[in-house]
Structure 1
Amino acid sequence: MGTDRPAAQIAVNRERQRTLYGAPLGDRVHRLIGILGITQARLAGALGLSPAMLSQLVSGRRIKIGDPAVLARLMLLDERCPPAGGPPAPAAVTALLDEVRTAQLQWSVPPPRSGRRVPGPHRGGPDGAAAVRSGGAAAAHGPGGGGQLPRRGHRTAAVAPRTAADALRAVAGPAQLVAAAAALDRGFPELAEVLRQAAGRPVPR
């Protein structure tokens, strides 16, 4: 009976990962390293994880990716990864991993109407979230986004979003929304589900 318990717990953990990430992390990682022809340790380096931590996530001994920035990098790599087939050229793989490793995945925060600065999450905060900088909506849709706040006195036309999901998608890309959901999941599961739905990845029921 004692030998069955760890296996049963891992099965439970993998199902929890399926709920959080759409599939067990082992399945996602094995797909990526199979397509790219790289080792799990090299993937861990690109994501900003230690090989031991990634191994625990893949095996199901650990459930969650604790750092939202790591989750955002994993989602970015999953989006940019070519479809299954022949392995891409080594130079292309290296360029893709370097892009993911150095990606600056940030939220764009709209300016407050009162003109007062609103403090945002910062590196080293309660959830270990990456720095969030104010900017245009383009900053939320991948690396290199560098939108600037409107200059004081400069007015821009505003179009009211139709739904809450529209409002969320206007200021953050899918990777950032899912990363935020992972950060909020423990304390605010209902908000986390709203964020995942806005990202186009509703929680399975």
Structure 2
Amino acid sequence: MDLTDNVARQRELYGATIGECLRRITGTLGLSQAAVARTTGISAPMLSQLASGHRIKIGNPHAAARFFSLLQLVDEVGTGLAHEQVATRVAEISREETMPLTGSREVTATTAPTDVAAAVSGVLRAVASGRELAAAAAVLEEEHPGIAEVLRAYGTGSAADAHRHHASIAHLA
């Protein structure tokens, strides 16, 4: 495959190229590419290869979830999140403990609540933007308020919001 094919594949996978996503993150959040690499856990050279189209996808599901959390944060800034809160949210994202989405570790009933909350957040943020999740929550609110609450807590809320919600329903699982 050549760069054109790689970029086309990134658009299929993510709806945009990694380079476009990276520019949104650095431009809106004021982070350098090196800071994005540190926050996500992707090496700076790997992030550069992804951004330039030399590599197609983020192979580590933990890093992918954190990368998409940063994109979701960009959406939050666009919908009114105060810039003073960005540094706190970036720090939360860098500490996110996400679970592999590839089945390399079995999830059991004894999984720590913070792992479950992060995993659900990672999945939602990998498949939709913050705006899309907020819109879905608004549509569902009247007839399915519980689902709308899950979308807001895990999809558009902070890691702390997701953990609080999970703790409030853990007795049901």
TM-score, normalization: structure 1? 0.50
After the TM superposition, which residues 47-196 of structure 1 pair with which residues of structure 2 at under 5 Å, given as runs? 47-81=40-74, 82-84=76-78, 89=83, 92-106=85-99, 121-122=104-105, 132=107, 134=109, 135=111, 140-142=116-118, 173=120, 175-176=122-123
Aligned-partner Cα distance in 2 for 1:85–1:79: 11
**Superposition RMSD on alpha carbons, in Å?**
3.5
Greater fraction helix: 2
Aligned-partner Cα distance in 2 for 1:79–1:178: 7
Identity %: 34
Deviation of the 1:12 alpha carbon: 1.1
Residues 173/86 of structure 1: CA separation in 2 closer, same or farther (3 Å cut): closer
Deviation of the 1:85 alpha carbon: 8.8
Secondary structure, in 3 states, of the residue corresponding to 1:173? helix
1:24 to 14, 17, 25: 17
Deviation of the 1:40 alpha carbon: 0.7
Unaligned runs of 5+ in 1: 1-7, 109-119, 123-130, 143-171, 180-205
Equivalent residue number for residue 183 of structure 1: none
* CA deviation string 1:154-194 (max 9, x = no partner): xxxxxxxxxxxxxxxxxx63623787xxxxxxxxxxxxxxx
Equivalent residue number for residue 11 of structure 1: 4
CA contact (8 A) 2:69 2:125 kept: no
Residues 175/141 of structure 1: CA separation in 2 closer, same or farther (3 Å cut): same
Unaligned runs of 5+ in 2: 127-173
CA contact (8 A) 2:61 2:100 kept: no
Aligned-partner Cα distance in 1 for 2:121–2:88: 22
